[in-house]
Amino acid sequence: MLASTVIPAKDADVGSVGRTVISVDAMGGDRGPAAVVAGCARFARSVDGIGFILHGPKDELERLVSRRKPLSGLCRIRHSDRTVTMDAKPSHVMRNGKNTSMWSAIDSVRNGEAEVCVSCGNTGALMAISMMRLRKLDGINRPAIACLWPRRDKEGFNIMLDVGADIRADEDDLLQFALMGTSYARNGLDLARPRVGLLNVGTEEHKGRAELKSANDLIAAAAPAGDFEYIGFIEGSDIPSAHVDVIVTDGFTGNIALKTAEGTAEQIREFLKSAFAATPLSRIAALIAYTSLNRLSKRIDPRRVNGGVFLGLNGTVVKSHGGADAKGTEAAVKLAFDLARSRFSQRIAARVASATIARQDAVKGQPGNGTTQ
Amino acid sequence: MLASTVIPAKDADVGSVGRTVISVDAMGGDRGPAAVVAGCARFARSVDGIGFILHGPKDELERLVSRRKPLSGLCRIRHSDRTVTMDAKPSHVMRNGKNTSMWSAIDSVRNGEAEVCVSCGNTGALMAISMMRLRKLDGINRPAIACLWPRRDKEGFNIMLDVGADIRADEDDLLQFALMGTSYARNGLDLARPRVGLLNVGTEEHKGRAELKSANDLIAAAAPAGDFEYIGFIEGSDIPSAHVDVIVTDGFTGNIALKTAEGTAEQIREFLKSAFAATPLSRIAALIAYTSLNRLSKRIDPRRVNGGVFLGLNGTVVKSHGGADAKGTEAAVKLAFDLARSRFSQRIAARVASATIARQDAVKGQPGNGTTQ
């Protein structure tokens, strides 16, 4: 499953050996499969060596693909006529979701046909099926969803995890999030020595919950061997800071922070719009300032950073936003392609394995003091 | 202590009987006592019937007050030459803070000289001294800090609590936060029947931590008697929503959400500034759009909403931002004055007492089912 994925030569539909293949769940998004196929086509125009396996109703997908020239010869279609709805309960989908496009898309990663899966469907169901079909990596207790967060003072992103795979995390989970986030920063953002911060209600060492104080010690102790820099506790206002690359938190807190930031950005966009619509003069100013406002709106456009990545499984899954349009899907597919190209799944597995061995050695070597090594 | 506060007639310095007196810790802010005194003066210009007790170094405060005409005859000064620093540990301040301006400012509420205390000092120390000197209200387990949050679609605010008095809250605490927040919304925002939401990672009833599910039941059951509307779970993106007035959460989550929103707003302000500074044309547009941009910046100006309120104590304490300037202090003093005028401390005590009695009656009446009444 972890071998580099190539399309068998006999499948003339998808193209030559050596392509990086992305498995795409075309269903379940608010805008339907047309937006998903259009997003794949946008990205296919800009790269060589990509192939897609699209999952959904065969006739509809064939019609959509045939209209997109950049996709010609790059897509294989896997028929499924069932879709996981946005309100489906994960437990129900685990029992009854077998013939859905989401299940089928994840199975393409499971059986080695594709390197990474992309879906804009129901997050809870996607995580549940991913856990069941791909299984957790050896040494990982709790998988996590990592998101990209626009950085404050330059064009770039920070990574935050977990933003909602689970609602809790103990100190060992938080350490694993630090290790997985570091690996994502290396392979997804090309950072040699990522800086890791732990989200808390203050930066002083005595603040916060007990598990955060323990995690603070564990992550600090793991930094030298893990080749990352640990900067200690950070606060909510530091999430977009340029002084940190990877922000570690539990899935409850991460989800609240992410949605609060989205709500705030949306609110300010609305305020800005109404400020410029208020008077004739301000409307003229808005016309003149069109390019500037456009530049701003690009920087805070959530579509540019679309793609939560599920970490800690045998295979990588990119969760695209439920409301993603073609541009949003393009961003998610680009992220999936970059991670597949860097052989991210294999690297993160190796990283977690070596940390687990180091931890076990430390426990063996210093029996009384093992858990904080 | 809860009687309406008047200045004794013998104190010619402060003025006539019947004034609403605010106790102000003039020290501990980043900008020193000059900004605090200037803020008091700004507010004193706009109202009748206010008096101040200012706490800090006598000579310095007398000099500052003498320069501000609107304060003439309205201030009594309480000398203290010790200041609680921003990095002081609450436990240390509780043992050694007796002669500080912060301690003295809270004691003016304790001994009934003033109705409400305002301080821009260290939050943890202020909460610790407030807890020790004012004591918790009967029936309250965990006091909370409530903040005002700019609302999305009109000029107005939502209330969120707790934003950092404590790092945890169980289901009973969350119910008390709902009751205290409702009382604050009635007396501070003049809402007859506030709508209460409980912050969670999703709006479905099966989502979130166990204590949130229990709190969901408790708050729903308390709504009819409490004369508020309970709208159920809300997400981070709903905090500025116009469909809710009071957002209930634990102090850890509330603090992260508040600081994340502050960080996001600051980040977008910077992006906006750099977008308008990018080209000569955009700089001209910025000049023409000056009024519009100013209008926007007023709406997201944190100084307008300065003032976290400590709820659940025998007396009300308003925490002003550490970096507050004169305008920020003015907003905090205005909030303190409004709450004092509405006799908020007395009302919230009555509200919590009647809820406690109702709860005890319910437990007595239905022994097997008491805790969810």
| Residue A155 reports pLDDT greater than 80 | no
Q: Which residues contact A350 (CB under 8 A, 6 or more apart)?
A: none
Q: Which of A255-264, A291-300, B76-85, B357-366 has the lowest mean pLDDT?
A: B357-366
Its CATH class, for the domain covering A1-135, is: alpha beta
Two tokens, residue A198:
């732990």
Of A255, A264, A282, the CB nearest to B291: A282
Q: What is the mean pLDDT of residues B107-125?
A: 93
The C-alpha of B225 sits at a distance from chain A's nearest C-alpha, in angstroms, of: 30
Which chain A residues are Cβ-neighbours of B252 within 8 angstroms? 201, 208-209, 253
**Quick check: B285 and A281 CB within 8 A?**
no
**Quick check: A262 and B167 CB within 8 A?**
no
Two tokens, residue A349:
């597995």
Helix axes B32-46, B58-66, angle to 10 degrees: 40
Evaluate the CA torsion angle B165, B167, B173, B176 in order and state its sign.
positive
Q: Which residue's structure tokens are 């950072």?
A: A191
The per-residue pLDDT for B358 is: 66
The per-residue pLDDT for A223 is: 94
φ, ψ at B9 (rounded to 5°)? -60, -30
**Quick check: B237 and A262 CB within 8 A?**
yes
User: Does the fold of domain B136-304+343-373 match that of domain B1-135+313-342?
Assistant: yes
| Other beta carbons within 10 Å of A338 | 18
Could you list the beta-strand ranges (E) of A2-66: 20-25, 50-56
The C-alpha of A49 sits at a distance from chain B's nearest C-alpha, in angstroms, of: 36
**Quick check: A267 and B238 CB within 8 A?**
no
Q: Which of A19-33, A309-323, B2-16, B288-302 has the lowest mean pLDDT?
A: B2-16
Q: What is the mean pLDDT of residues A106-122?
A: 94
The C-alpha of B245 sits at a distance from chain A's nearest C-alpha, in angstroms, of: 16
CA distances from A354 to A332, A349, A357, A363, B262 (A): 29, 9, 5, 14, 39
- What architecture is the B1-135+313-342 domain classified under in CATH? 3-Layer(aba) Sandwich (3.40)
B242, closest residue in chain A (CA to CA) = A267
Q: How confident is the model at residue B53 (pLDDT cuts 50, 70, 90)?
A: very high
**Quick check: A259 and B279 CB within 8 A?**
no
**pTM score, whole prediction:** 0.85
Of A164, A260, A268, the CB nearest to B268: A268
The per-residue pLDDT for A357 is: 67
Cα A187 from Cα A10, distance rounded (Å): 32
Which chain B residues are Cβ-neighbours of A299 within 8 angstroms? 271, 275
Contact at 8 Å (CB) between A22 and A340?
yes
Burial readout A172-197 (b: 16 or more C-beta within 10 A, e: otherwise):
bbbbbbbbbbbbbbbbbbebeebbbb
ipTM at complex level: 0.84
Burial readout B67-90 (b: 16 or more C-beta within 10 A, e: otherwise):
ebeebeebbbbbebebbbeeebeb
Q: How confident is the model at residue A9 (pLDDT cuts 50, 70, 90)?
A: very low
Of A206, A235, A263, the CB nearest to B236: A263
Q: Which of A63-72, A112-121, A336-345, A346-355 has the lowest mean pLDDT?
A: A346-355
**Quick check: A291 and B299 CB within 8 A?**
no
Of A201, A263, A271, the CB nearest to B256: A201
Please state, rounded to an integer, the average pLDDT across all residues of chain A. Answer: 85
Contact at 8 Å (CB) between A45 and A21?
no
Helix (H, G, I), strand (E, B) or coil at A160: strand
Cα B91 from Cα B246, distance rounded (Å): 31
Cα B42 from Cα B56, distance rounded (Å): 19
Of A201, A251, A299, the CB nearest to B271: A299
**Quick check: B275 and A296 CB within 8 A?**
yes
Q: What is the mean pLDDT of residues B96-107?
A: 94
Highest mean pLDDT pick, A289-303, B99-113, B320-334, B335-349: B99-113
Cα B195 from Cα B218, distance rounded (Å): 15
**Quick check: A296 and B201 CB within 8 A?**
no
Two tokens, residue B73:
């005859």
Q: Which residue's structure tokens are 């007398």?
A: B62
Which chain A residues are Cβ-neighbours of B165 within 8 angstroms? none
B288, closest residue in chain A (CA to CA) = A285
Domain boundaries, chain A: 1-135, 137-312+343-373
Of A251, A261, A285, the CB nearest to B285: A285
CATH topology for A137-312+343-373? Answer: Isopropylmalate Dehydrogenase (3.40.718)
Amino acid found at B253: T
| Residue A366 reports pLDDT greater than 50 | no
Which of A147, A163, A253, A256 to mutate to test binding with chain B, by most B CBs within 10 Å of its CB? Answer: A256
B319 burial type by CB count under 10 A (0-12 exposed, 13-18 middle, 19+ buried): buried
| Residue B325 reports pLDDT greater than 80 | yes
CATH number of B136-304+343-373: 3.40.718.10
Q: What is the mean pLDDT of residues B189-215?
A: 89
The per-residue pLDDT for A359 is: 63
Q: How confident is the model at residue B11 (pLDDT cuts 50, 70, 90)?
A: very low
Cα A59 from Cα A236, distance rounded (Å): 47
**Quick check: A256 and B253 CB within 8 A?**
yes
Q: Which residue's structure tokens are 């997908």?
A: A61
Contact at 8 Å (CB) between A24 and A55?
yes
- Which is more confidently placed, A28 or A63? A63
B206, closest residue in chain A (CA to CA) = A89
**Quick check: B256 and A285 CB within 8 A?**
no
Cα A279 from Cα B206, distance rounded (Å): 47
Two tokens, residue B327:
């305008």
φ, ψ at A150 (rounded to 5°)? -60, 135
Cα A335 from Cα A118, distance rounded (Å): 9
The CA-based angle B185-B187-B192, given to 5 degrees, is 65
Q: Which residue's structure tokens are 């500025």?
A: B240
A154, closest residue in chain B (CA to CA) = B271
| Residue B59 reports pLDDT greater than 80 | yes
**Quick check: B255 and A236 CB within 8 A?**
yes
